[in-house]
Chains A and B, each alone.
Chain A
Amino acid sequence: NAGVTQTPKFQVLKTGQSMTLQCAQDMNHEYMSWYRQDPGMGLRLIHYSVGAGITDQGEVPNGYNVSRSTTEDFPLRLLSAAPSQTSVYFCASSRGLRGSYNEQFFGPGTRLTVL
């Protein structure tokens, strides 16, 4: 049971390049989310999904796209990278909304630098 995995761990992009951050979980969780972590700002929600085929925007969605074709995978796409997207990105999943089900399990993070 690998939990939540993210690839790559580190990435450097040039302004304008596109890329996809991969996230996968093997716990059969319905709920998956992407957060970004910036110094002094905690973690902020980018996009989330409540199941395969269903996604929605979080607090800071601009410049990012997501899709959820399977329960296991939730990739985050940067369409045209900008220096403001330099951050650490975390993927998280949870089983449900109530009680112990809403514990979110986090991946190890991806550190992205946009030059």
Chain B
Amino acid sequence: AQTVTQSQPEMSVQEAETVTLSCTYDTSESNYYLFWYKQPPSRQMILVIRQEAYKQQNATENRFSVNFQKAAKSFSLKISDSQLGDTAMYFCAFTGYTGTASKLTFGTGTRLQVTL
């Protein structure tokens, strides 16, 4: 079974600064997908960024980028130029490449507070 671990329950960053959220995972599969989801106070789950394990290049989406270390099973999220609207819970998630359904395994989340 896959597990996803987020060891930082809460983090704080000042506006315009850079912050990195950590995620580690465990799996026996050789190919898989990793995701970061954002959950603002509205409760809506929003996909931030996706990484396919067989792709060497780290994914980027505007101010969001990941540091994917497959051998270390690490998948951290870097938010550059933090904005007040980035305040949210962030969840790391995993889904395998095999199987019959797109089933996500989530970490316990990191609450990010962006301050002035």
Contact = CB atoms under 8 A, between A and B. Distances in A.
**Interface size class, chain A:** 20 to 34
Interface centre among B43, B52, B105, B108, by most A CB within 10 Å? B43
Chain B: interface size category: 20 to 34
B103 A90 contact: no
Interface stretch (A70-78, A79-87, A104-112): A104-112
A56 B101 contact: yes
Contact of A43 (B52, B97, B104): B104
Given A42-B91, A102-B33, A58 B102 contact: no
Given A88-B43, A106-B44, A108-B43, A43 B101 contact: no
Given A44-B106, A103-B50, A31 B43 contact: no
Contacts of A103: 47, 50
Interface string A27-64: 00001010100001111110011100000101000000
A45 B95 CA distance: 12
A42 B44 contact: no
A45 B43 contact: no
Given A35-B106, A103-B50, 20 more contacts: A33-B101, A33-B104, A40-B9, A41-B108, A42-B4, A42-B91, A42-B106, A43-B45, A43-B91, A43-B104, A50-B100, A92-B104, A94-B102, A97-B102, A99-B52, A102-B102, A103-B47, A104-B102, A108-B42, A109-B44
19 contacts: A35-B106, A42-B106, A42-B107, A42-B108, A43-B104, A43-B106, A49-B101, A50-B101, A56-B101, A58-B103, A88-B43, A92-B45, A97-B101, A97-B102, A98-B97, A102-B102, A103-B47, A106-B45, A108-B43
Interface of A: 31, 33, 35, 40-45, 48-50, 56, 58, 88, 90, 92, 94, 96-100, 102-104, 106, 108-109
